[in-house]
Amino acid sequence: MAVLLLPVVKIGWDAATGGLGANPIEAVQNRLGFWTLVILALALVPTPAKDLLGVSWPQRLRRILGVTAFGYALAHFLFYVGVDKFFDWQTISRDLTRRPFLMVGFAALLCLVPLAVTSTDGWLLRLGYRRWKLLHRLVYVAAALAVVHFAWRVKADPTRPLLFAAVFALLLLARVPGWIRAARR
């Protein structure tokens, strides 16, 4: 799944060739956030793909997609801490306690932490499938918080955050038939 690293390769390439524009730090920060949302959405595709279309091969990609989404989210956060704010803890702590736009983004990241930790086969066995699945529904909370974070970030044009909101809503909706089927069983 090296393709999931292409956005990072592109960032590296653009950084080396001047393609990040006049404010490269802002550009990298925005791109990492954007790709977090894209890959998080992709991670939610396999299950409805199987339920609705009977396509089951994407199932094998769920884990790598989910873990990669977490990786992008973490990179986005670490870039903010270590590059954008350069470990200015005073500003960072104020940001994360007083500014709702940053608080929801941080909360989204925190939601993803237990999911990344329990992404291994070992944890799946330890928790049992039922509990594991319940825990991993946190991904919807993370997605919702991430979209709100994006929406509060933009100054005037809500088009792109709304697009992500629509995509996540559709992906959630696409799971309903599967749930109904499971309930009947």
Partner 1 sequence: MARWKPDLRGSEATPEETWLRRRDFLRLGAAGAIGAAASALPLPAGAGEDDPSGEVLPVARKLEMAGGEKPTPWKSVTTYNNFYEFGTDKADPAKRASGLRVRPWTLAVEGEVKKARAIGIEEILKMAPLEERIYRFRCVEAWSMVVPWVGFPLSELLKRVEPTSRAKYVVFETLLDKAQMPGQASRILEWPYTEGLRIDEAMNPLTLLAVGLYGRVLPPQNGAPLRVITPWKYGFKGAKSIVRMRLVEEQPRTTWALMAPTEYGFYGNVNPAVDHPRWSQAKERRLGEFFRRDTLPFNGYAAEVAGLYAGLDPRKLY
| Residue whose CB is less far from partner 1, 70 or 149 | 149
| DSSP assignment of 105-152 | HHHHHHHHHHHHHTTSHHHHHHH-HHHHHHHHTHHHHHHHHHHHHHHH
Residues that bind partner 1 (CB under 8 A): 15-26, 85-86, 88, 91, 94-95, 99, 101-102, 152-157, 159
13 vs 173: CA distance, rounded Å = 38
Closest distance of CB 75 from partner 1, Å: 18
Beta carbon of residue 91, minimum distance to partner 1 (angstroms, whole number)? 6
Q: Cα separation of 69 and 46, whole Å?
A: 15
User: Would you say 19 or 128 has its CB closer to partner 1?
Assistant: 19
Minimum distance, C-beta of residue 17 to partner 1, in the bound complex (Å):
7
CB of 109 to partner 1, least distance (A): 18
Rounded Cα distance, 105 and 82, in Å: 16
Tokens of 21: 């524009």
Return the number of the residue (49 or 151) whose C-beta is nearest partner 1: 151
Of 3 and 22, CB closest to partner 1: 22
* Distance of alpha carbon 159 from alpha carbon 149, whole angstroms: 14
